[in-house]
Amino acid sequence: MPELKFVRPIHIRPLPEGTQPVVSLKNVTKRFGKIIANDSITLDIYPGRIKALLGENGAGKSTMMSLLAGRYPPDEGVIEIDGNPMKFSSSKDAITAGIGMVYQHFMLVDSMTVAENVLLGQEGSFFINPKEMMKRVGDLAETYGLDIDPAAHISDLSMGERQLVEILKLLYRESRILIFDEPTAVLTPEETSKLFEALWRMSEQGKSIIFISHKLEEVIALADEIAILRHGKIEGEFDTNAIESKSDLASRMVGKEVLLEVNREPAQICEPVLEIRHLTGLGLTDINFRVRKGEVVAIVGVAGNGQKALIEAVTGLCKPPVDTVFIMQKPWRKFFAESTWNRSMCYIPEDRMGLATLRNQNMVDNLLLTTRKGFSKGPWLNKKRAEKDTLALIKKYDIRPGRIHALAWQLSGGNLQKAVLARELYREPRLIIAEQPTQGLDVSATEEVWSRLLEARGMAGILLVTGDLNEALQLADHIAVMYRGRILGMLPTSDKETPGKIGPLMAGVID
């Protein structure tokens, strides 16, 4: 999406001399078997400051924050709050100490309302009547400028709105130390801007904020100071004012120069692999476009404007009207009736933990989710060959921690995404549906995914759904802009005027 300019209401102020940290990690180490996730971490968090934590996927960021949030105990070292050593035996202990965390994967009850989720488990909440619940949560949301209906049910909310509920849970607890793990991954630019305004308000009130993100432009705009984690160790800390550019920050993070772009050589355009003809229904109106082998067509737009319905209609999650979707030049129903496990269509969904993988299964079993027929002969499954191929994919795609028996939930979001991409490209597809394929990935991994998708054009056509306008411009041959279930424009990326046209179309403005 078009990059927004975030303007902080006050300039970053230097830390007053003599200010004591509210949180100190001193030589903290955490191991998982032979894997050292955090290695002698020493880090101070000060009141009224926003500290961004950067690092590649698997660098140990989420583990370090889980230690601070009481999910894991450190194997060595000590965590101090206000100078006092603390031993957290659970998340509840950390919450009592004033630490709150919003995780990448939401922890909400779908059947309950926003207000009920915010007050769930809060002391004395059982005796609060629904009207009082709504008022408390509504007032809290208004105070921080978070646009959410306290009476809405979680099941009816978008991903961005669910994120706001998680944030409200922290605010209601009056946490002093707030940890945000990729909080903008599911937010629109406008929602991100509002979130930043709320975070600035919190820091002005003396709250300490830890912000984990792979979006470097957001880090530069939001944070007072930045800490870089690499291979489980703190490699550097500096004020945001010391950053010269986005490329400078990317290079500091990965320890090498990062171009933040890929070379998209022209590919041979062949026969259509996907055709949408006058698709109306499912919240869509007269959708028409095609994707040919060798090309990338990107769908962009503010979340909730029909992208999800379109993807579900193509991938088989719901039935489109007859004779509107054609895959490999076959009608939708005929294609799925005859579809094979390989050299067909693959889907890389946005929901990598829920839809793309089984969280409590290991890497081998998650590979077999969509490739099982390739390892089967009659009723027999060749598990050893699956293990061998899984090891090869782990090495090829640099998936950490690099163990075939690691469970899906034990992988960082970026490494899990790379595992899904590896599995689906292993199938040698002719049509690739990629939905937010680099969401939550660091800059180095993003470049790798971009390169692999472009390489895949040799065997497939690609339909890319993305909330990142730069990603669309880097990868796509054409960009389709969706608004309220319609495609308002199909723009060639070869046209220099295309970037300037996308924003107005996303807002429904047609020349």
Tens digits of per-residue pLDDT, 279-312?
999 999 999 999 999 999 999 987 778 999 999 9
Share of the chain above pLDDT 70, in %: 94
189 — pLDDT class (breaks 50, 70, 90): low
6 in Cβ contact with 196 (< 8 Å): yes
Tell me what pLDDT residue 156 has. 86
pLDDT at 187 over 80: no
pLDDT at 218 over 70: yes
Tell me what pLDDT residue 254 has. 76
Cα gap 197→13, rounded to integer Å: 17
> CA separation (Å) from 229 to 237, 254, 499?
9, 9, 34
Tell me what pLDDT residue 12 has. 66
Tell me what pLDDT residue 115 has. 94
Pick 249 or 298 by higher pLDDT: 298
Q: Once rounded to an integer, what is the mean pLDDT over residues 444-455?
A: 88
Cβ-count burial 15-51 (b if 16+ within 10 Å, e if not): eeeeeebbbbbbebbbeeeebbbbbebebbbbbbbbb
Pick 159 or 130 by higher pLDDT: 130
Cα gap 402→33, rounded to integer Å: 13
pLDDT at 494 over 70: yes
160 — pLDDT class (breaks 50, 70, 90): confident
Residue 11 CA, chain-centre distance (Å), reads: 29
pLDDT at 222 over 90: yes
Q: Report the relative pairing of strands 284-292 and 431-435 from DSSP bridges.
A: unpaired
407 — pLDDT class (breaks 50, 70, 90): very high
**What is the three-class DSSP state of 325?**
strand
> CA separation (Å) from 452 to 26, 120, 349?
40, 44, 17
Tell me what pLDDT residue 139 has. 93
All domains of the chain in start order, with CATH: 268-344+429-511 (3.40.50.300), 355-426 (no CATH)
Which residue shows structure tokens 């993807």?
Answer: 311
**Under 8 Å CB-to-CB from 59, ≥6 apart: which residues?**
229, 230, 231, 232
pLDDT at 467 over 70: yes
Tell me what pLDDT residue 157 has. 83
18-32, 111-125, 167-181: range with highest mean pLDDT: 18-32
199 in Cβ contact with 38 (< 8 Å): no
51 in Cβ contact with 227 (< 8 Å): yes
67 in Cβ contact with 38 (< 8 Å): yes
Tell me what pLDDT residue 4 has. 46
pLDDT at 491 over 60: yes
Q: Once rounded to an integer, what is the mean pLDDT over residues 162-178?
A: 88
1 — pLDDT class (breaks 50, 70, 90): very low
Tell me what pLDDT residue 6 has. 62
pLDDT at 394 over 90: yes
Pick 147 or 294 by higher pLDDT: 294
pLDDT at 5 over 60: no
pLDDT at 2 over 60: no
341 in Cβ contact with 370 (< 8 Å): yes
Cβ-count burial 234-249 (b if 16+ within 10 Å, e if not): beeeeebeebeebbeb
Give the sheet arrangement for strand 233-239, strand by strand.
Answer: 99-102, 177-181, 208-212, 50-54, 225-230, 233-239
pLDDT at 217 over 90: no
Could you report the per-residue pLDDT of 89-108, keeping only the tens digit for each?
Answer: 898 899 899 999 887 677 89
> CA separation (Å) from 158 to 282, 298, 347, 486?
17, 21, 21, 19
35 — pLDDT class (breaks 50, 70, 90): confident
With 0-12 / 13-18 / 19 or more C-beta atoms within 10 angstroms meaning exposed / middle / buried, residue 338 is exposed
Residues forming beta bridges with residue 491, ordered by sequence position: 479
Tell me what pLDDT residue 460 has. 97
Backbone angles phi, psi at 331, to 5 degrees: -55, 150
Mean pLDDT computed over every residue of the chain: 89
